[in-house]
Amino acid sequence: MTTTDMRYVILQHQDQLQYVEMPAEYAYQLSALNLRLHKEISKLTADHVPSLPRAVAECDHLELLNPEASLLNGLKYINDLEQSFAALQEDQYPLISLLTEIRALQAQLEQWYEEYEEAQL
């Protein structure tokens, strides 16, 4: 992957930062999904609703200076997000709607990574 293929979404959870590496054309969708999740999460009534980091920035180039910091793969991040929401014991809106949005982005990322790997062969 070249740096032009990727964009970085920076998430903050309390005093911790997470750096998610996304295909450039999907970074905005992750940020928008994160904002929507934060808007709707308070409406969920299930026990153990996941605690979400908040998207705080996007950038085209990222150089991590802290040796303890690491990049999260965008597909792994969205897969983990989907699993945490799918595990909730709730079958009402907004969970169904949120899961649909998460899974739509998940499918787009899976296709992107498949096409990218095929192009590298």
What pLDDT digit, counting tens, does each position of 51-99 carry?
899 999 999 999 999 999 999 999 999 999 999 999 888 766 678 889 9
Considering its fold, how many domains does the chain have in total? 1
Q: Answer yes or no: are the C-beta atoms of 105 and 78 closer than 8 Å.
A: yes
Given a cut of 70, whether residue 3 has pLDDT beyond it is no
Q: Domain for residue 1, yes or no?
A: no
Q: How far apart are CA 87 and CA 16, in angstroms?
A: 24
Q: Please write the tens of the pLDDT for every residue from 4-27.
A: 589 999 999 999 999 999 999 999
The verdict on residue 78 lying in a domain is yes
Q: Is residue 23 part of a domain?
A: yes
**Residue 42 within a domain:** yes
- Domain range for residue 110? 6-120
pLDDT number for residue 44: 84
With b for 16 or more beta-carbon neighbours within 10 A and e for fewer, the 34-51 pattern comes to: beebeeebeebeeeebee
Strand partners, 19: 10, 71
Hey, what are 37's tokens? 């999740």
Tell me the whole-structure pTM to 2 decimals: 0.89
